[in-house]
Amino acid sequence: MRGPHNIWRLIRTGATLERSGAMGVVLEALEAPREVRILARVLGWPFKPLGFRGDPALPPATRALTALGPAYIKFGQILSTRPDLVGDELAVQLRVLQDKLPPFPNDVAMKMIEEDLGLPVDQVFSEFSAPVAAASIAQVHRARIADTGEEVAVKVLRPKIEKAFRTDIEAFHLAATIIERFIPFSRRLRPSDVVEHFEGIVSGELDLRLESSAASEFAANTRNDEGFRVPRAYWGLSSRRVMTLGWAEGVPLGDNDAIDAAGHDRQALAKRVLQLFLHHALRDGFFHADMHQGNLKVGADGAIICYDFGIMGRIDEYTRRVYAEILFGMIRQDYRRVAEVHFEAGYVPAEMDVDEFSRALRAVGDPIFGMDASHISMGRLLSYLFEVTERFGMQTRTELILLQRTMVVVEGVARSLDPHMNIWEVARPIVEAYIKENVGPKAFLRDLTRTVQVLARFGPKLPKLAEAALVQQDMPPEAPPANPWPQRLGWMGLGAGLAALVALAVS
């Protein structure tokens, strides 16, 4: 599956970028060094005729990514939220990729709905519109349920999207293998693991039953979040290729002129979207991992409405605490503690010097504080961060990829609403509240209680474990153990378990 035929796919990728004119546009926007630009043009020019032509009506970068397929489109969607990295002009061009791609015909969508739900469309819906939004994986229709009159959004997968997505991912795997083999320093970034992680996440978008489940869980978690709404999932009208959600009426979060015309406060919205993401990631450990402008609206009441739950992120409680301590340390400019957390979590090899790492973090963080956000070059900041991680041998943590990527996307969305927003000041109250609740004596007592509860579940097995230990103790060993402490520790562990059970019973 990842054989030589994918080399052809990579060649056509470069050729398509060259033929569409996107190669120069992208390299210019990313401020690539002159040598890199020359090399890219020299390598791409001979293969230019082999590239996909794409839609000439679209701007170069959008034209190339649309022609290349769904995985490339996903990449463009991420870049569209980062005008500070790719420039305002390119970001606006790429925003078309969020929900304004060419749709597939209505009759094809209706046939898929009938096949999956087992009923004619006109029997299920009294109204069924042409596509109102079309993205890389699916398109959305506005409809009305025949039995209840409720207005809903019906999402339908693109035909044969699984095969198209597989073609892209196979090429990505080959590219990662080539990079690892010929660029040794890239191995610590684990490009193959990153691609595999991306594949697993986006594969979830290809089964809309999983998305319905995610929408339902996310709605339950956030039902008390002020100024935030999640549409209801209609399980009876959903399947693998079809999903039905309550209709979200509002102004697109990416349309600043419409937001201003509706009288909404963009500064307040920017602050809320970032704080909501931090709430969901830290408090719940379950967050929307595709929070670009195409998946967000502002309701008439000013609430942020979130939809499209194909990519969701989940992080365990330990990782949440590590992430919060790192953010908290950066906010307080306590770089020594940030460095220590990296070492404690194993993110930095133990043989590295914690003081040197702390100084490197200070060089990243100090220039940001007190500076107007509009004057911060995120491109230069990320470049320096990359140098720091390379110098200290930090490997890419695949369990944090989605969290980090979403943080970048959400920050981009917030700054598109308020370019002068200081992300550290906005994040401070959320992170401080989480630290107060989850790090320290209070959290320790809660963890201890949970440990006792887990031990209590093994209560019925403890007599047999004790009996087995006593029998083992009475048997003369063939040879005395060189170190008696493992045996003693075993008894200490059993005693601690019994003591915990007694404490639980007394309480």
Active-site residues: which are they?
A: 290
Cα distance between residue 143 and residue 164, in whole Å: 28
- Which of 377, 253, 381, 372 lies closest to 308 in space, CA to CA? 253
The distance in angstroms from the start CA to the end CA of the chain is 59
Helix spans in 183-299 (H): 191-203, 208-222, 256-261, 266-278
The encoded tokens of residue 332 equal 């307080």
Cα distance between residue 100 and residue 132, in whole Å: 9
Please state the separation of Cα 252 from the chain's center in Å. Answer: 21
The encoded tokens of residue 353 equal 């010097």
**Residue 484: φ, ψ to 5°:** -75, -10
- Which of 73, 66, 79 lies closest to 16 in space, CA to CA? 66
SS3 content of the chain, % helix, strand, coil (to 5): 65, 10, 25
The encoded tokens of residue 53 equal 């032509």
Q: 58 with 96: CB under 8 angstroms?
A: yes
Long-range residue pairs from 342-346, CB within 8 A, at least 24 positions apart, any chain:
342/394
Q: At what angle do helices 266-278 and 398-417 cross, to 10 degrees?
A: 170
Scored b (16 or more CB within 10 A) or e, 328-348 reads bbbbeebbebbbbbbbebebb
Cα distance between residue 304 and residue 225, in whole Å: 10
**Residue 126: φ, ψ to 5°:** -75, -25
Q: 419 with 218: CB under 8 angstroms?
A: no
